[in-house]
């Protein structure tokens, strides 16, 4: 039992030491790949002299960016740094931005080819990219979940707002209905009052017509009585004559 535990402990320590040495080995391999890429790049004429190539790629920030790329391959980030450093060293009168892009793209092609020639470095970078992709996928999934929660929250708020508007609309309809009922009631009362006034006016005119007729009849009687008396008076006077 004791021997087994000792063997297990020794095996664990060996694994730990092996894994601990991997980054150092990768770092050495990266430096070798970097040097080979510069050498291969110098053998081709990319609008730069050997002195210019050596000067540029031995700049502190350039070396730092390339070595970071060989551990964490982010071409866009590395390219931005190299472009800035390129025009810090060389004049835009001598090289255009198109020239700089062509030069750096050519260097990336060479260094990627050199990476493929080193299985350990290539496998390390593939593992890194796989982990990075998995992390990115997790972040995307988390973002989608958070976005889904936000969408549900917004949807709930929209629904609450629609319900509130619906309640307000219903309340407005009730108020409008009551207002219409009050208006209709007032119109009925006004019609009834106008009809009553019209009936009273008719009755008044009928009374006036009746009174006028009665006066005319009285006047006619008085006139006839006056004529009768006048005739009798004339007859009496004729008899006396």
Burial annotation 178-197 (CB, 10 A radius, 16+ → b, else e): eeeeeeeeeeeeeeeeeeee
Asked if residue 39 belongs to a domain, the reply is yes
What CA–CA distance (Å, rounded) separates 34 from 128?
19
Residue at 48 is within a domain: yes
Q: Is 127 part of any domain?
A: no
pLDDT digit string (tens) for the chain, length 241 residues: 444 444 444 444 443 343 333 344 446 677 788 888 888 888 876 678 888 888 998 899 999 998 888 888 788 899 999 999 999 999 888 899 999 999 999 889 988 888 888 777 666 665 444 444 444 555 655 655 676 676 677 877 777 777 777 666 666 666 667 778 888 888 888 888 888 888 888 888 888 889 888 989 988 989 988 888 888 888 888 877 6
Please tell me the distance from the alpha carbon of residue 114 to that of residue 37, in angstroms, as a whole number.
7
What is the number of domains present in the chain? 1
Kindly state whether residue 198 falls inside one of the protein's structural domains: no
Is 91 within the bounds of a domain? Answer: yes
In a domain, 132, yes or no: no
The reply to whether 8 falls in a domain is yes
Residue 188 placed within a domain: no
Domain carrying residue 109: 2-117
Which pLDDT score, from 0 to 100, does residue 45 have? 61
**What's the pTM value of the predicted model, to 2 decimals?**
0.43
């Amino acid at each position: 039992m004791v021997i087994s535990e000792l063997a297990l402990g020794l095996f664990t320590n060996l694994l730990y030491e092996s894994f601990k040495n991997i980054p150092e080995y990768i770092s050495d391999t990266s430096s070798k790949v970097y040097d080979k890429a510069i050498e291969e790049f110098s053998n081709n004429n990319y609008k730069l002299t050997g002195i210019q190539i050596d000067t540029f790629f031995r700049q502190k920030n350039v070396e730092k960016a390339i070595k970071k790329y060989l551990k964490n391959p982010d071409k866009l980030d590395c390219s931005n740094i190299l472009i800035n450093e390129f025009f810090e060293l060389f004049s835009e009168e001598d090289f255009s931005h198109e020239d700089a892009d062509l030069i750096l793209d050519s260097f990336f092609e060479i260094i990627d080819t050199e990476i493929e020639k080193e299985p350990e470095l290539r496998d390390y970078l593939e593992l890194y990219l796989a982990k990075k992709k998995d992390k990115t996928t997790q972040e995307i999934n988390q973002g989608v979940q958070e976005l889904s929660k936000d969408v549900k929250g917004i949807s709930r708020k929209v629904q609450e707002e629609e319900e509130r508007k619906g309640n307000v609309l219903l309340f407005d309809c009730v108020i409008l209905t009551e207002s219409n009922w009050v208006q209709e009631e007032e119109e009925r009362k006004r019609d009834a009052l106008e009809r009553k006034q019209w009936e009273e006016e008719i009755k008044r005119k009928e009374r006036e017509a009746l009174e006028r007729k009665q006066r005319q009849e009285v006047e006619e009687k008085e006139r006839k009585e006056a004529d009768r008396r006048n005739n009798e008076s004339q007859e009496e006077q004729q008899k006396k004559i």
